[in-house]
Structure 1
Amino acid sequence: MNSSTHTPTPTAKPTLSFWQIWNMCFGFLGIQFGFALQNANVSRIFQTLGAKMDDIPILWIAAPLTGLIVQPIVGYLSDRTWTGLGRRRPYFLVGAVLATFALFFMPNSPTLWIAAGLLWVLDASINISMEPFRAFVGDQLPVKQRANGYAMQSFFIGVGSVIASLLPWLLAKFGVDNTAGPGEVPATVHYAFYFGGAVLLGAILWTVFTTREYPPERLHAWDEAPPIAPRARDTGRMRRNAMIWLVVGIAFIAAVATQGWAKELYILGGLVTAYGVLQFMRTTMTGEGGFQHIMDDLQDMPQTMRQLAVVQFFSWFALFAMWIYTTGAVTSVHYGSSDTTSAAYNEGANWVGVLFAAYNGFAALAAIVIPFMVKRWGLRVSHLVNATLGGLGLISIAVFKDPQWLLLSMVGVGFAWASILSLPYALLSDSVPAQKMGVYMGIFNFFIVIPQLVAVSTLPVLMRWFGNHPLYMLVIGGISMIIAGLCVLRVREPAMHATAAVTP
């Protein structure tokens, strides 16, 4: 991707080879290694350190909240960064170093609250690296190759997650202790996190040192997206809207406090109130600061992004339900134990790691199949099919009694996961201008984070309605995934999309 000073600059963004796309996406192997260790084992660590099942969603709030704050800021900054290391790669590197630190220390947490704090550090660090990787594909690839680029990321996500999710189970098979005393994390989890930190750092270093970036002025010259026309700024109307959000949010918080509603609903009220505060702050500010730019870009976002917001909401609500409640559901229903010191519980928790590895393995295979699906059916119908498979997979966990059969459930989940990580970005790809690629990928993350915050605030309430059975939360997640697939039919299909497979 280096341009020679002796050759003319191409008039359009060059098409990259398979191995160039491979190298630029390889860092996602490490990012997802850390992310998968987090998803498969953090609930286990929390339970081991004394967390009750209905408190776990609150402890998990670190993950979506850090993404909500970090990703748009990192996207905005990376759009305006140009160093000797490039535009996005400095953020890859900083995030990798911090995430490695968190992975090394999390299984050694002496208390529940230190573990929860390290989850904040880990998730923020992963977000620092992950957000620029999404923009990196938009920077480096022409529109016709972007679906392939995001599918390649899905492939590495699948491969990294398979190995990471299997690690505690594999270590137990090799004789590493899989049980420990009360309040102690088993050795299998310790060694898995140490290995994961090394892999995360190594994979991102590979991408940093094997890729180059186009300077901003060249990206602007090659921009394939239409400019985004700013919407009219009616300060009075914006202030009235802000007051409506504030009043609704504060009234909801007051109702939670006075009517005896579940305490988790404070999060939902706080989310509404915070949005009103941010809108009101924007009406009082002048100038061209980062906050003003992000808020204005949020208001000006393309129609395609608005349509995809609904798809993302139902998709990520379902995924968060799966990540939070699969361990509790499988250990209590399929292995018959909720005692974190028992062999049955830890065997079931390890099997959840195997299941998570399985769905990520199927996602890696799906990443190879999806470009062929897109060629035949288009982006929208392909995503509908995959989301429906994922929904049916989650619902089937409540049907199968033999834990071995849950591997079949993971086939559908894997196809949905690969699709969620690639096709919405491909649908969005021709709507975002190059100079705002980072900030809009960060804003797009709002529609990943907000449903997770909604899940944190509502799923514990729903679980109590269903007799504190975590299995029913997986069924609700499956229904949500199917709704996401149906909503994608409202989204405009890009004029150009990739038709080649991600194979050499």
Structure 2
Amino acid sequence: MLSPSPTEVASRHAIHARDQARKTEKSSLSFWQIWNMCFGFVGLQFGLALQNANVSRIFQTLGASVNDIPALWIAAPLTGLIVQPIVGHYSDRTWNRLGRRRPYFLAGAVFASVALLWMPNAPALWMAAGLLWILDASINVSMEPFRALVGDQLPTRQRPIGYAMQSFFIGAGAVVASILPWVLARFGVANVAADGGIPDTVKYAFYGGGAVLLGAVLWTILVTREYTPAQLRSFTDHVPEGPSVDVSRAGRPGLLLLSAGIAILFAIGYFGLEKEVYLLAAGLIAFGLLLTWLGRTRSRGMLREVMGDLYGMPGSMRRLAGVQLFSWFSLFAMWIYTTAGVTQTIYATTDTASSAYNEGANWVGVLFAAYNGFGALAAAVIPLMVRRWGLRISHVTNLCLGGAGLLSFLFIRDPHWLLASMAGVGFAWASILSLPYALLSDSVPTAKMGVYMGIFNFFIVIPQVLAASVLGLLLRLCFRNQPIWALGLGGAGLLVAALCTLYIPEPERRT
């Protein structure tokens, strides 16, 4: 066979270079295209905000004690821990008429809307807990692909804008949803049920939330188009998969976690610890068994691939683990104990049928609306902070503001002054929802964007499981069962998260 001439070789190289230049340019999206792509987050956060601000109220109204609330809330983080990596794994491999991520948007939105309609009509505590499980699982089915969609559709330079837009919609949706029962009460809707059941203010808020959630997600599905998998592989921001990780070494950390879980089981029996601590022990044992199995198995399948990706995660994810641990521990403490803490400490009641309790619970909805509103404003300010100070110092600053806000609950006794506390919490909230993803996204392999975003959720879920396991115990042993101290622990946790952030190397500045 004749060798090609130098002219032919040069011509082929020129054609290849031209084709590469043509194929690898990912188009920048307009403001409104990014807006439409992220708009579904309004609906998802509407559902989450109604859940965060009202589910503890529903549980207490149906007979749950303050000490039982963390265990009942465990449905939320556990469903995210299980669902998001699975959805990410399969959405990376999906392509049909609706696209890659949008089929999961639709399925999750439908089931979440149905759960929102049923939850305020639950006749018993066990049914309300089951509906919380369904609601949170369904929202997670939609939410994880929304995170991956930003990485799929936007060039590297626009990804911070996309995540900031999601933070804005999270704040905007949550403001309206959190304040809705309070607004309905001001318009004369009954805020105390005649039979001690769920008030009409909560019921109508959940009905409206179901409609908003489904409508917002449908808008994104109908007006957004996705790149095909082949197109994604051709772009210049394509991050290839790294070398395979030797998972045979996963058995050693697996045995350590398994041993820790068994030790905690013995401690529960010996010291008579709260039943919620079983959650922590079970989590350690389950995760230890999975890692031990990963180190020994040679089988192929979804579970092995997800666990292998977890064990071989990028170094940037490992460095962010401590930051996420303390950040989400603090947020979960705020979500599950603010209603009980404010009503007991500031409104001086634990009677869920009293007008004082329901007035205080509604004011907590206003406070949650406030921190989400401040978070929406912070979403516009944070890019300016990053431009001036960088990602790391910006995140440290915002976490410190949030820590100060939660710690102030220990000292403030006028409920209106708590709005100022929520300003700091709002900045921390917007930062937690955006800057860790900005630190992470450029290092995630393109072909596994979905599964790695799902795995990153582990560092959101695990601290929530930890909070549900130990907060009740800490309040009993150290704080005489006063739930307001859970908010103090949350404030301290955000300050520790800020310290952990200082140990993350500052990435290159974005232009």
State the TM-score, normalizing by the size of structure 2. Answer: 0.94
Matched residue type, 2:340: G
Of the candidates 83, 96, 100, which is equivalent to residue 113 of structure 2?
A: 100
Matches for 1:66-465 after TM superposition, within 5 Å: 66-222=79-235, 224=237, 226-230=239-243, 232-233=245-246, 235=248, 237-464=249-476, 465=478
Cα shift at 1:493: 3.2
Instruction: Work out which of the two has the higher radius of gyration on C-alpha atoms and give 1 or 2.
Output: 2
- In 2: Cα distance, 1:371 partner to 1:443 partner: 26
Contact 1:225 1:430 in 2 (8 A): no
Q: Which amino acid aligns with 2:349?
A: S
How many Å separate the matches in 1 of 2:345 and 2:250?
Answer: 50
Pick closer, same or farther for the CA change 1:380–1:234 going to 2, 3 Å: closer
Letter in 2 for 1:43: S
Tell me the distance in 1 between the aligned counterparts of 2:243 and 2:41: 34
| Contact 2:28-2:155 within 8 A present in 1 as well | yes
Greater CA drift, 220-229 or 246-255 = 220-229
Q: Structure 1, residues 40-84: CA drift from partner, whole Å, max 9, x if none?
A: 000000000000001000000000000000000000000000011
113-122 vs 300-309, which moves further: 300-309
- Write the distance in 1 (CA, Å) between the matches of 2:68 and 2:322: 28
| C-alpha contact (below 8 Å) 1:337/1:344 kept by paired residues | yes
Q: 1: CA distance between counterparts of 2:247 and 2:425?
A: 44
Q: 1:487 aligns with which of 495, 500, 506?
A: 500
Q: What is the aligned partner in structure 2 of residue 65 from structure 1?
A: 78
Letter in 2 for 1:56: I
CA distance in 2, matches of 1:156, 1:207: 13
> Could you tell which deviates more after superposition, 464-473 or 119-128?
464-473
In structure 1, how many angstroms separate the alpha carbons of the residues matched to 2:431 and 2:66?
30
Which secondary structure does the structure 1 equivalent of 2:348 belong to?
coil
Cα displacement string for residues 161-182 of structure 1 (whole angstroms, at most 9, x for unaligned residues): 0000011000000000000145
- 1:117 counterpart letter in structure 2: G
- 1:246 Cα deviation from its structure 2 partner: 1.9
Q: Is the 8 A contact 1:228 1:302 kept in 2?
A: no
Report if aligned partners of 1:302, 1:432 keep a CA contact under 8 Å in 2: yes
Distance, in Å, in 1 between the alignment partners of 2:101 and 2:122 is 32
Q: After superposing the two structures, state which structure 1 stretch, 282-291 or 83-92, moved more.
A: 282-291
Rounded to whole Å, the distance in 2 between the matches of 1:374 and 1:238 is 37
Separation in structure 2 between the aligned mates of residue 223 and residue 184 of structure 1, nearest angstrom: 57
**Distance change >3 Å, CA 401–CA 241, structure 1 → 2:** closer
Q: Tell me, yes or no, if the aligned pair for 1:50 and 1:183 is still in contact at 8 Å.
A: no
- Residue 52 of structure 2 is aligned to residue 47 of structure 1: no
Deviation track 1:427-463 (CA, whole Å, cap 9, x = no partner) reads 1011101101000000000000000000001110111
Alpha carbons 2:247, 2:295 under 8 Å: kept = no
Q: CA contact under 8 A between 1:310 and 1:487: conserved in structure 2?
A: yes
SS in structure 2 opposite 1:421? helix
Residue by residue over 1:143-163, the C-alpha shift from the partner in whole angstroms, topping out at 9 and shown as x without a partner, is 111111000000000000000
Q: Equivalents in 2 of 1:276, 1:149: separation in Å?
A: 36
Distance in structure 1 (CA, Å) of the matches to 2:364 and 2:247? 52
Cα pair distance change 1:364/1:232, threshold 3 Å: closer
Give TM-score, length-normalised by structure 1.
0.95
Q: Which moved more, 1:152-161 or 1:285-294?
A: 285-294
Aligned mates of 2:62, 2:431 — CA distance in 1: 35
Verify the 8 A CA contact 1:70 1:128 in the aligned structure 2: yes
Contact 1:144 1:496 in 2 (8 A): no
Letter in 2 for 1:362: F
Distance (Å, rounded) in 1 between the aligned partners of 2:136 and 2:194 = 28
Whether the aligned pair in 2 keeps the contact of 1:334 and 1:402 (CA below 8 Å) is yes
Q: Per the alignment, in what secondary structure is the counterpart of residue 502 of structure 2?
A: helix
Cα distance in structure 2, aligned partners of 1:303 and 1:240: 19
- 1:267 positional shift: 1.1
The match for 2:486 is: 473
Provide closer, same or farther for how the CA distance between residues 148 and 114 of structure 1 changes in structure 2, counting only shifts above 3 A: same
Structure 1 residue 12, shift from structure 2 partner: 2.1
- Measure the CA separation in 1 of the matches of 2:311 and 2:483: 38
Tell me the alpha carbon deviations over residues 267-307 of structure 1, each in whole angstroms, 9 at most, x when there is no partner: 11111101111112223432431111111111111111101
How far is the alpha carbon of 1:196 from its aligned partner? 0.2
1:192, distance to aligned residue in structure 2 (A): 0.1
| Amino acid paired to 1:222 | F
- Residue deviations 1:207-266 (CA, integer Å, cap 9, x gap): 00110000011111115264343454263x433432332222122212212331222211
- Alpha-carbon separation, structure 2, partners of 1:248 and 1:397: 34
Contact 2:24-2:236 at 8 Å conserved across structures: no
Aligned length: 490
Structure 1, gaps ≥5 residues long: 1-7, 500-504
Give the letter for the 1:415 counterpart.
Answer: F
Asked if the contact 1:93/1:205 (under 8 Å) is kept, the reply is yes
SS of 1:93 mapped into structure 2:
helix
- Which secondary structure does the structure 2 equivalent of 1:205 belong to? helix
**In structure 2, do the counterparts of structure 1 residues 25 and 234 end up closer, same or farther at CA, with 3 Å as the change threshold?**
closer
Q: Distance in 2 between matches of 1:22 and 1:234?
A: 41
CA distance in 1, matches of 2:114, 2:34: 28
